């Protein structure tokens, strides 16, 4: 995780394996804070919180993640399957301390 992409590729190929190119991106990172505005389906929010931003955190790119979601009032005006702030907040609280392992600010927006 702490190697550059070219160093990772070299190490993988030196072990006789094939490297697979991939990447993570977020809406933006500034001063070690990642910000993601997520008005997509439930699965995308879970991916943001438990995979994408974990890679940035473990890779020492960020210190905190900000995830912006629609509040229920706005979500009701959107297509089906969109995650909403109150639901994700409840799920995070139910998981307990240390989940997600990345320091997180969860924000909700309403119309």
Q: Which helix (H) or strand (E) holds 36?
A: strand 33-37
User: Could you tell me the CA-to-CA distances from 83 to 16, 25, 47, 91, 99 in Å, in that order?
Assistant: 42, 20, 12, 11, 18
What pLDDT, on a 0 to 100 scale, did the predictor assign at position 62? Answer: 93
Two tokens, residue 90: 């409840």
Token pair 């609280």 is found at: 93
Polymer length in residues for the chain = 111
pLDDT of residue 55: 86
Residue-range domains of the chain with CATH: 26-109 (3.40.91.20)
pLDDT of residue 103: 92
Residue 38 makes CB contacts below 8 A (sequence gap 6+) with: 44, 45, 48, 67, 68, 69, 83
pLDDT of 68 > 90? The answer is yes
- pLDDT tens for 6-48 read 898 999 999 999 999 877 778 899 999 999 998 888 788 888 8
């Amino acid at each position: 995780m702490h190697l550059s992409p070219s160093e990772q590729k070299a190490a993988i190929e030196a072990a006789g394996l094939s490297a697979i190119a991939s990447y993570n991106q977020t809406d933006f990172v500034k001063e070690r804070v990642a910000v993601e505005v997520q008005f997509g389906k439930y699965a995308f929010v879970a991916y943001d919180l438990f995979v994408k931003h974990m890679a940035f955190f473990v890779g020492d790119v960020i210190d905190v993640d900000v995830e912006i979601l629609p509040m229920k009032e706005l979500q009701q005006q959107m297509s089906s399957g969109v995650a909403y702030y109150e639901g994700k907040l409840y799920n995070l609280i139910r998981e307990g301390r240390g989940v997600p392992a990345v320091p997180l600010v969860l924000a909700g927006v309403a119309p």
